[in-house]
Structure formats: structure tokens, C-alpha cells
Structure 1
Amino acid sequence: MSGERVLVHRDPALMAEAVAARLITAAVDAQAARGTAHLVLTGGRNGNALLAALAAHPARDAVDWARVELWWGDERYLPAGDPERNAVQAAAFLDAVRPLGARIHEMPADDGAPAEEAAARYAAELAAADPVFDVLLLGVGPDAHVASLFPGHPGIRETGSTVIAVHDSPKPPPTRISLSLPALRAARQVWLLAAGADKADAVALARTAPDPGTAPAGAVKGTEQTLWLLDEAAAGKLA
């Protein structure tokens, strides 16, 4: 592992623009090295801002989107089309790259099946593709959660599958699907996104408390690189 870096941007808008440019470069580099880029998307405030900036970025088409596989780190287990689903909130970005050939692997929507069955279907899709994620994006929550792995929640300790069902989430909606901690840790690069003063305590905790039970964000490292991509407010309590 090459260690961790902390990059601080002046404000959330500049952070989104800078991370979008960095992601374009990373995707191009992955394609040059391995042919296909496997990217894991994240939702939430910071993830959605990044994807909006990426969709509008003038260098977006430097990426050969027909050689990009887009995965999700987690999803709200809600019916298809529900506005709370990450994939729905990211529709502008997905609609921009889908016609360019990007292969989008959405996590299943709630069709009445138990969340465990939906998680197993996504795990099977991952197993069939057998990807090594080039860049895995994670938004850091105010409680230092990432994906749908919450401090003190049983999902953080589950290691038997790459994809898990999450029940009784402390953040609504209560039922979710998430990559497991081992799956997150298998990515080449992990990029942790946090902007806003409400994330400052979580960032400081995660940087000093790698125990996943206390601060899941601090327990996810890339095999090659880990980046903390912050704005000044989120970085405000770092030593």
C-alpha cells in the first residue's frame, strides 16, 4: 500500500470539480494499463455533486466510456424509480454516459424479494465479472459511516460475502444493500469524499480511529492508494 494522502479544497464546488478531473485521469490511466476501468460510484450530497461535475466536465469524453464498468458501493432498497435511490439521484450522469457505451451495474430495486436475495444477485453479478475496482468512491457520513456500513451496526462485521443486506439502518431508509468491508478494501484506489462542517468530527475521528466498529471510514484503505478529498470545512478539525 502506498499510504494515504489528504487533499483539501477551498469549498464543495471546487472540490467536486477537482475530483471530477482527477477521476477522468484515473479512468484514462486504468484503460491505458488494463483496457477497462472499473469505477465504484457513491451517492449522497458529495457523491451527487461529483457526478454532476463529471457529467458536465469538458474533458469527460477523454474517457472511452465503452470501456468503463460502473458499479455501486451501496443502494437504498426501494422500488425502481424511487427518488431516494442513489441511481435515480445520479440519473443525469448515468444518462450522459449510457449512450456512450458505459456498462452500468445498478444494485437491485425492491421488487418484493428479501434484501438478502437482492444482495446475493448483485454478488453473483460481481463474481461473474470478477472486477478489481480501479477507483472506489465513498462519501463519509457525519457518523463516519461509508457505503451502508454504520458504526456499531452488525453489517460492519459481516465478511462472508462481497455484498450484504443491511436492516435497521440508523439512517433512513432502514433497508439497504451494501458492499461488504472486504469488498471495499479490495479496490486499488479508495477515495473518501467529505465536504461541510458537519463532516469535520467524522473525518477527524476516522483519521485517528481505524477500528471499523467506531469509524468505518477509517478502516477502508486502497491496496495502492487512499485519498481523503475534503473541503476546508470538513478538514477543519484535523491536527
Structure 2
Amino acid sequence: MVNVVRVATVDEVCRAAAAEFVRVVREVSKTGGKHGDGCARVVLTGGGAGIGMLRLLVDADINWELVHVFFGDERNVAVTHPDSNEGQAREALLDHVNIPEANIHGYGLGNGVALADAVDAYRLVVQDFAPEGFDVHLLGMGGEGHVNSLFPHSAATREESALVMAVTDSPKPPAERATLTFPAIARADRVWLLVAGAEKAEAAAQVVAGADRDEWPAAGARGIVDTVLFLADDAAGLL
């Protein structure tokens, strides 16, 4: 079941998700979380709402030493490139809080690193630092329903076992990316989609309806504890 948190604007999507993020991270520090060590494993997302949410966390009451950060996907560019999800997250949040560098788990793309090698290395990173999965997996969504770099009718979207895959034919440039897959998403306690924009209304309705993930990938994103769609009014026209 998808729980819909409907708000008026994209700014309110960011605020609602940020408040819930703070609550969960602090709860994990007290209860132990998925791994029992009090460290929250969180997967960040890019996009306007995802980055907007991160900006709101700069002054949040969070012990960042107890947070491990992962990325749902990454374009095959260096972290210094403006299209890098990690780079955007660093600029919005990570460079402004006291999080140990060792707790930031990027894909290491760019600078001559082969895509296949980066994907293989990231599988080991996920296995080593989040062997039980994630406490929170944040997702943006495209108008056609893609999440991470899982696009309709793609091999990565159909993957049933590997946690990380290379994408070489993304319909949205750049073509080469690395992505967490649905098996990785399914290991998260909480999966939250941050969605705004009238062009995403049909996809949002398909998420709530539980459509075929091959047609509408976001509809296949489900958390173990909860799945929440933080939805702005302009993307809720068909609900």
C-alpha cells in the first residue's frame, strides 16, 4: 500500500519529507535501526525536490556521524560535474554538515573509471556498509515513471537479483549511468517518493494504482515498513 501525503507545493513536499527524515534518523539512533548499531543507512536522490529537501537538512538536529549516505543512481560523470547527483548533494548538504567522509558512499565515476568497474565496486560497498539494506530510500520520479535510472521496458528495471547495474542506453542523457535496482529498493524499510509537477500526474496515479513496474517503474518501488508518496497538488490531478 502506498501512503499519500498530499501538500500544496513542491516546497511543502521538501519540508514534509525533511521533517520525516529527521524523525526517522533520530529514531534509528535510539532503536538501532536495520543493523542494530544506531546508524541510519539512507539513499539520496537528485532532482528538484530531492535536492530541495537536502537543503532543508543543513541545520537539522541530526548526529551525522551516525548516518551513512548512498545514492540511488549516478550519471557517468565526475563528482565535480554539474550533473553529478553526488556533487549536487554535497553542494546542497554534505559539505555543510559534520558527516565523516567515510560515511559518504559515492559511485566513484569519472576520471577514467570504467562504468563496469564502478558498478562492481559499488555492489561491494552496498554489501559491506548496508548488508541488511537501507533505513530510508528516497526517490524522485520522471514523468514517464522512472526512478533511479530504472526506465520503462529496460533491462535494469527487469533485474531480479543484482543490487547495482550499469545502464548504457538511458533515454535521458547521458546514456551511461549506474543505478540501484528494484532488489536494492526492496531491501529498504522506508521508500519515499518526492513528486511535484503536472507532467508527473499520470505516473503518480499509476504508482497509487500499483501498475506494472515495467510500464511505470515507480509503481514497483515498495518499502518493507512503509511506502510514502509525498505529492504536490499539481501532480495529483488524476487522484
If the length of structure 2 is used for normalisation, what is the TM-score? 0.92
Partner Cα separation in structure 2 for residue 136 and residue 19 of structure 1: 12
In the alignment, the residues of structure 1 paired with residue 219 and residue 30 of structure 2 have an alpha-carbon distance, to the nearest angstrom, of 30
Work out whether 1:53 is the aligned partner of 2:56. Answer: yes
Q: Distance in 2 between matches of 1:119 and 1:229?
A: 30
Instruction: Give the corresponding residue for 2:114.
Output: 114
Aligned residue identity for 2:107: M
- Amino acid of the structure 1 residue aligned with 2:229: W
Q: Answer yes or no: is 1:128 the counterpart of 2:128.
A: yes
How much does 1:66 deviate? 0.6
Deviation (angstroms), 1:77:
1.1
Identify which of 29, 32, 37 aligns with 2:30. 32
Superposed CA deviations along residues 141-181 of structure 1, whole A, max 9, x for unmatched, are 11100000000111111234211000110111110000011
Change (3 A) 1:78 1:100: closer
Where does structure 2 lack aligned partners over 5 or more consecutive residues? 33-37
Amino acid at match of 1:128: D
- 1:48 maps to a residue whose letter is I
Supply the AA of the counterpart residue of 1:78. V
CA contact (8 A) 1:198 1:234 kept: yes
- Rounded Cα–Cα distance in structure 2 between residues aligned with 1:148 and 1:24: 26
Aligned ranges 1:1-239 → 2 under 5 Å = 3-34=1-32, 35-55=38-58, 57=59, 60-61=60-61, 63-90=62-89, 91-97=91-97, 99-101=98-100, 103-129=103-129, 130-238=131-239
- What amino acid is the match of 1:86? N
**Unmatched 5+ stretches in structure 1:** none
- Judge conservation of contact 2:72–2:148 (CA < 8 Å) in 1: yes
> Residue type matched to 1:67 in 2?
L
Taking structure 1 as reference, are residues 189 and 127 closer, same or farther at Cα in structure 2, changes over 3 Å only?
Answer: same
Q: Superposition RMSD on alpha carbons, in Å? A: 1.4
Deviations 1:72-95 (A, max 9, x none): 111111123111001111223010
Contact 2:16 2:230 in 1 (8 A): no
Paired residue type of 1:44: G
Aligned residues: 231
Confirm or deny: 8 A CA contact 1:209 1:215 kept in the other structure: no
What is the distance in 2 between the residues matched to 1:100 and 1:116?
28
Matched residue type, 1:118 = A
> For 1:39, what is the secondary structure of its paired residue?
strand
CA shift for structure 1 position 4: 2.4
8 Å contact from structure 1 (residues 17, 54) kept in 2: no
Q: Deviations over 1:207-238 (max 9, x none)?
A: 22431110110111101101010111111211
Q: Are the equivalent residues in 1 in contact too, given 2:149–2:167 (CA < 8 A)?
A: yes
**Cα distance per residue 1:182-219 (max 9 Å; x no partner):** 01111000001101111111111222243111011011
Letter in 1 for 2:156: G
Return the offset for 1:131. 4.3
Contact kept in structure 1, 2:42 and 2:69, CA below 8 Å? yes
